[in-house]
Structure 1
């Protein structure tokens, strides 16, 4: 790097909120399956505390040596529903507590993988895990959970969709903040380093390191220097900026992997906002020329941003993976919070935006009285968008008991503040109650 590039990177970190949002170590637990849950739990503890023993130490050393902020250190593991083995009555709450204690022992912020992959149907273990999610999240601090209910290849498991609508309600009824740690997916990816949806897929290796890089402020500042540029030039600016950001993620990931003695896997270049001033994806869209996020044209602007970020990132790294693009969580984005509180953006517009961004309806607070069937309907809608468009979509909504539209809930820190958003008062119960499956689309058959 020449002097100007070094200076530019320093400015990105000090002035534009550039950071490594996470170093996530993926650990396969398939070799931990024992004859019963207790034996499995003991093996899980041994493996995690061995493989990740130095993860936080190494991340802190890299942060100190190079002056690059590494915000989170995390672990993702094999979907826990797969670890039931021969135990006819697996204790998934025990496994959740085991993951939590292991995460605390090695000092990571979060551990993901209390998960089930049920797009093609549910085993007894899958059902047991899904029913255990409310207690598991209530009795742990660092465990995150996800369930994949659909895919382009398999269609939508509507029985699982209906169940997860109820599970979301039960999780939030105990403590609304627990719902922040639960995501319902379609087309979930196996190498995602971002929480709450991270898990380590069965096609991954025994252990590897992924990095997640985020820099909405860097992109916004670059675009602000081209106020009258045509779209072709705007796309080029975003690509070049994403390239620089992704190179930093590649460097940090390789350093961490080498020091930990494990392979380096992927860089996830996702513009993940925070409530901090100048760290907003919505502000990028407004810099492109919208009076506020939610204005007609928002979906087109987001499509441009998402595509240009991917194009820039993929040229910068050996392997780009995870979700990579732009996230639109309401509570974690300062400008999105303002728009939601002012009624300038609604759930229907957010749903439209999810057709072109990296994830889906994310970190959205809704009235506590919202029926479970309505939440299931929201999950079904998002999963359908993912299934038809061959992309990852997800729902992370928080029904807040006792709160209604016009109020808000404070989460604090990176999770921000969520205005309670209005939900369509129609009744989806008959639709959701049909059960069964929505078949995969015609274009899923590509053999």
Structure 2
């Protein structure tokens, strides 16, 4: 049982070290809303979301007040809309109308984001999948809270290179559609390999078809807490360092477990998972990069960075799984550039490049995340970056993702300001050599030999 003593024990973490519960995410199954009539479909979806989520924000605020735990975001994840809208949507505009409706109901219930404007195309695309994907630029430009994701590959199926090629084009179009907001639409769009069904973090959250009708998932955070803990063992052995990270991750995860149980009980919705990812914010002292520096690096990106990140990720998971029986989602260290002041400093110092970030994704929680690149980056280059990251996930049997932002009108050396949790980012250089002939090949990259384990 979790008790108030454990919450009191973490009070200093909350007040001085930026510990928070990053999100309570309510997952909602929409498969029973499917209808061939678009108007009826949208009415069913709106009503189901509103009824399920009308008390979500209020409940989160009550828990936050009662236990003194900051709960930063309240979010909704939905069954991938390409599945739900397939019967009714005959054009991209039909899907865009669903996106507008989702934005409206999200605003009505007061959540920060609503995820699930998604398609799962790791092996092939249906007509509905392709329509939804092609609708993404307009959908994200005319909505404020809708987030979109596309799963392009998996260890079991390989990589759908037709979809990878298309997503390079879609990301560029999304950037152009939202160029007056510094291409902000791309910050709400992520592509995955091995996307988890129970991820509470945006922009990649969707409600998997293996999930219950409704579910509560919680995502915790706490880079500042971990950094402060390991600063007290500076110069000690790796064994001491690892034990310190594990114990700290245990305490952080217990806070998330408490919030998840309370939200589940009060909303009368089953508890799903706690995602114990270390998710940084732009706040000073709330940085994964700063943890790496505390471990012993001058900057994130210095030699030894990948090893230090692997150590951090593994110890966080080891500590977290002892604190909750239901750990899931992504659960590890995020390395988004724009949301992590330490990462931004490393880029500006020349210590951190796109290539080094890619190598770090082999051992971290997600992938190339919130990276601003020049607005004139070619579609095929973006597709090549995506293909590389998908290959890392496919071969290593892990989740990887790409959320890059080609900022229209800006180039290397300039900075883009997104605001809020999205922070700001320096425009990073991209390898300019061509991969056009590779990306233009049709079909898919086959699954690796070690995927055949039936």
Same fold (TM over 0.5): yes
Deviations 1:323-350 (A, max 9, x none): 0000000000011011112221100000
Q: Distance in 2 between the 1:306 and 1:425 partners?
A: 32
Map 1:267-306 → 2, pairs under 5 A: 267-306=274-313
Give the corresponding residue for 2:62: 61
1:248/1:179 Cα in 2 relative to 1: closer, same or farther (>3 Å)? same
2:176 is equivalent to residue 169 of structure 1: no
SS in 2 for 1:162: helix
| Superposed displacement of residue 86, structure 1 | 2.8
| Superposed displacement of residue 375, structure 1 | 0.2
Deviations 1:141-167 (A, max 9, x none): 000000000000000000000000000
2:402 is equivalent to residue 389 of structure 1: no
Deviations 1:104-152 (A, max 9, x none): 1110000000000000100000000000000000111000000000000
1:48/1:3 Cα in 2 relative to 1: closer, same or farther (>3 Å)? closer
Is the 8 Å Cα contact of residues 41 and 88 (structure 2) preserved in structure 1?
no
| Superposed displacement of residue 232, structure 1 | 1.4
Is the 8 Å Cα contact of residues 36 and 85 (structure 1) preserved in structure 2?
no
Selected match of 2:144 from 124, 141, 150? 141
Give the corresponding residue for 1:101: 104
Give the corresponding residue for 2:154: 151
Q: How big is the alpha-carbon RMSD for the aligned residues of Structure 1 and Structure 2? A: 1.2
1:12/1:363 Cα in 2 relative to 1: closer, same or farther (>3 Å)? same
Map 1:343-358 → 2, pairs under 5 A: 343-358=350-365
1:95/1:5 Cα in 2 relative to 1: closer, same or farther (>3 Å)? closer
2:199 is equivalent to residue 192 of structure 1: yes
| Superposed displacement of residue 2, structure 1 | 8.9
Selected match of 2:260 from 238, 253, 258? 253
Q: Distance in 1 between the 2:371 and 2:211 partners?
A: 31
Is the 8 Å Cα contact of residues 25 and 217 (structure 2) preserved in structure 1?
yes
Give the corresponding residue for 1:222: 229
Give the corresponding residue for 1:48: 49
Map 1:19-30 → 2, pairs under 5 A: 19-30=20-31
SS in 2 for 1:271: coil
- Point out where structure 2 has 5 or more consecutive residues left out of the alignment: none
SS in 1 for 2:77: strand
Q: Distance in 1 between the 2:191 and 2:308 partners?
A: 26
2:22 is equivalent to residue 15 of structure 1: no
Q: Distance in 1 between the 2:7 and 2:416 partners?
A: 41
| Superposed displacement of residue 409, structure 1 | 0.3
Map 1:354-393 → 2, pairs under 5 A: 354-393=361-400
Q: Distance in 2 between the 1:250 and 1:88 partners?
A: 39
Q: Distance in 2 between the 1:382 and 1:353 partners?
A: 11
SS in 2 for 1:116: strand
Q: Distance in 2 between the 1:403 and 1:433 partners?
A: 27
Deviations 1:355-375 (A, max 9, x none): 000000000000000000000
| Superposed displacement of residue 8, structure 1 | 3.4
1:85/1:3 Cα in 2 relative to 1: closer, same or farther (>3 Å)? closer
Is the 8 Å Cα contact of residues 16 and 279 (structure 1) preserved in structure 2?
yes
Selected match of 1:400 from 400, 407, 422? 407
Q: Distance in 1 between the 2:80 and 2:46 partners?
A: 16
Map 1:427-438 → 2, pairs under 5 A: 427-438=434-445
Q: Distance in 2 between the 1:119 and 1:178 partners?
A: 23
- Point out where structure 1 has 5 or more consecutive residues left out of the alignment: none
| Superposed displacement of residue 402, structure 1 | 1.1
Selected match of 1:443 from 427, 447, 450? 450
Is the 8 Å Cα contact of residues 373 and 428 (structure 1) preserved in structure 2?
yes
1:85/1:4 Cα in 2 relative to 1: closer, same or farther (>3 Å)? closer
Give the corresponding residue for 1:419: 426
Q: Distance in 1 between the 2:79 and 2:87 partners?
A: 17
Is the 8 Å Cα contact of residues 147 and 204 (structure 2) preserved in structure 1?
yes
1:23/1:261 Cα in 2 relative to 1: closer, same or farther (>3 Å)? same
Q: Distance in 1 between the 2:87 and 2:205 partners?
A: 26
1:252/1:7 Cα in 2 relative to 1: closer, same or farther (>3 Å)? closer
Give the corresponding residue for 2:120: 117
Q: How many residues align?
A: 447
SS in 2 for 1:326: coil
Q: Distance in 1 between the 2:7 and 2:314 partners?
A: 27
Q: Distance in 1 between the 2:4 and 2:139 partners?
A: 51
